[in-house]
């Protein structure tokens, strides 16, 4: 079964726009769980423009599903993850001022750096995932670094999907086959939506997890959060 992890960053962005605690990030996360999400994802950034470090600490004891913390492994981020001990940490190569993740790691160039992190987090009992594109060599070096899983960066798929679904999915299917052959778990995320998720999952049914935030929260404005989560889960059947 492919799990749906809801990224709640956009909920925190809305809260931060006015100050105060509306919407309540913790309540939304718990509601996502109650409505059927199998995980919650947060991506704290150095400027705390959406999810704050304090949110991460507050969420950990309340969540009953998988907790995934993603981000660039700065010293502060590493310290946060080791203290909170989520089920999974997903490492992304974001610059501090980056609006959103827009590329995967060069795992070959950063192999030593990533290997040390895999050992650090692994020793703490935290499952590791590295954000990568579909380049086969980058996937192979993620395995050499010791990652438990990789998360495929799916914006290229989403961008091409409307023009040619078959062309859009092809490199991801090949990449997913390599991931499976190497014995790693497989996650996916970035710009997956109700329009393109079902086709992606149909072609790669052995996905362990998809992490979806922006599109899901946008859909919830029209459908409501409960209905939206149900619709996304239906895409993963």
- Residues tagged active-site: 43, 70, 190
Torsion of CA 23, 63, 60, 224, to 10 degrees: -20
Instruction: DSSP for 165-201, please give it.
Output: HHHHHHHHHHHHHHHHHTT-EEEEESS--TTTHHHHH
Nearest to 154 by CA among 134, 178, 170: 134
Residue recorded with tokens 């199998």: 38
In this structure, the number of other CB atoms found within 10 A of the CB of residue 199 comes to: 16
Determine the Cα–Cα distance for residues 107 and 43; give it in Å rounded to an integer.
Answer: 20
């Amino acid at each position: 079964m492919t799990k749906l992890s809801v990224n709640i960053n956009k909920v925190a962005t809305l809260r931060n726009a006015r100050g105060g605690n509306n919407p309540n990030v913790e309540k939304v996360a718990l509601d996502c769980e109650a409505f059927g999400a199998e995980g919650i994802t947060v991506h704290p950034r150095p400027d705390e423009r959406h999810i704050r470090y304090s949110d991460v600490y507050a969420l950990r004891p309340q969540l009953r599903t998988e907790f995934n913390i993603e981000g660039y492994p700065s010293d502060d981020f590493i310290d946060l993850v080791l203290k909170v001990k989520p089920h999974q940490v997903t490492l992304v190569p974001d610059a501090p001022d980056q609006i959103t993740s827009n590329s995967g790691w060069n795992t070959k160039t950063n192999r030593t750096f990533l290997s040390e992190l895999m050992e650090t987090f692994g020793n703490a009992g935290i499952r590791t995932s590295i954000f990568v594109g579909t380049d086969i060599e980058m996937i192979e070096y993620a395995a050499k670094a010791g990652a438990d899983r990789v998360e495929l960066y799916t914006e290229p798929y989403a961008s091409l999907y409307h023009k040619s679904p078959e062309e859009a999915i092809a490199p991801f299917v090949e990449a997913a086959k390599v991931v499976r052959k190497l014995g790693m778990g497989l996650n996916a995320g970035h710009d997956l939506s109700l329009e393109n998720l079902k086709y992606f999952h149909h072609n790669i049914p052995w996905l362990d997890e998809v992490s979806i935030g922006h599109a899901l929260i946008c859909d919830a404005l029209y459908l409501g959060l409960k209905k939206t989560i149900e619709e996304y889960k239906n895409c993963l059947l």
